[in-house]
Amino acid sequence: MYQNNKIKVSCYDQIKKIPQLKKEKSELKEIYSQALQDVVKRLDKAFQNFFRRVKESQNGKKQKPGYPRFKSYWRYDSFVYPQFGFELNEKERKLNHPSDSERSGRDLSLRLSKIGNIKLKLHRPIEGNVKTLTIRKTRTNKWYACFSVEIKKELPKKKVIQEAIGIDVGLDSFLTTSQGKKIDNPRYLTKLEEKLAKIQRWHSRKKLKSKNRRKSRLKIAKIHEKITDQRLDFFHKLSNRLTKSFQLVAFEKLNVKGMVKNRYLAKSISDASWSRFLQQLRYKAAEAGIWAVEINARKTSQTCSGCGAIVPKTLATRKHQCPFCGLTLDRDINAARNILQLAINTVGATGINACGVGRLLPTTKREATYFIIGGSSLS
């Protein structure tokens, strides 16, 4: 309408047309009305973001506006019940025989308007007031019901700092601490890359739209899902360990988007997924009441953690050797110590005992409760 008549159509103008569209296309009557309205709101949000990016690029910001991409039925993998149309039901299980004690308990089901009752596998109990429900399908044909909930929960007060640590992330070692410990990079993608390449070669030879091609696509999706699950499991355990052991965790501010432009290291950087790890570290720190400090890590590798002198070195130099104070140690450990010291200096906190090092930013987290529909839970 805009291209032909220069008429702008708003989100609510399109929503008003839905009853008329239902008369023209009977299949739309099989979908809950608010779920249809949410599709229009998603479309409107995509275009509003597009217009915003166009305006920013005209004002001098270097970026591609990125016209919204059409989502076919294959790519459209979720739908939303914004307010109503869903209900959780709990039923007592009946025992067929007194000895069937393992069968006792409750069955949980979800009633969806226009769809019916669906059995659920509980992932974690719902806390708070449920606001929206999103039904999502993964590429491996698993279905999830994601409840967004609103809770009245105050973040705990910050703990007294007794133990502090600085961390430096990398590719050779995933993480190096200011205490001199190194965590190996698991390289989950690299380990399964050969198997993945073999299946992808088989997939490329399958006939388009055939059953065999669908089967091979599913095999590829399962490998990618396994890599993601392994990586998330590793991140959760490591971030949980850090937040339980220390009251202050300092880490560097990373420009991952800029880093992946290096064509030689892009795959390894994506496999390491530092941004996801640091995101988990932030919200776990907020929940635990500890300090998670992000600092600008410029020249932390070049600065001596012993005397503060600048010692230039290339990326190939893995040892820090200070000609002024004689300090010799691993390059990454030196950087991690500098990161910790910068974090303490930046905040300027007084009267704390941080492992004798000398010298934090609270974050918040939006919570969601997940249930699993007809699938196994993620590790």
Query: Active-site residue numbers?
Result: 168, 252, 332
- Give 44: exposed, middle or buried? Use CB within 10 Å, 0-12, 13-18, 19+: middle
Taking alpha carbons only, the member of 168, 190, 163 closest to residue 330 is 168
Taking alpha carbons only, the member of 281, 252, 251, 248 closest to residue 354 is 248
Cα–Cα distance for residue pair 282/211, rounded to 1 Å: 44
Residues 278, 249: contact at Cβ < 8 Å? no
Q: What angle do CA 255, 259, 260 make, to 5 degrees?
A: 125
The number of CA neighbours under 13 Å toward the Cβ of 156 is: 13
φ, ψ of residue 158 in degrees (nearest 5): -65, 135
Strand order in the sheet with 143-150: 78-81, 129-137, 143-150, 368-373, 121-122
Q: Provide the β-strand partners of residue 129.
A: 150
- Give 297: exposed, middle or buried? Use CB within 10 Å, 0-12, 13-18, 19+: buried
Taking alpha carbons only, the member of 272, 319, 76 closest to residue 169 is 272
Residues 158, 292: contact at Cβ < 8 Å? no
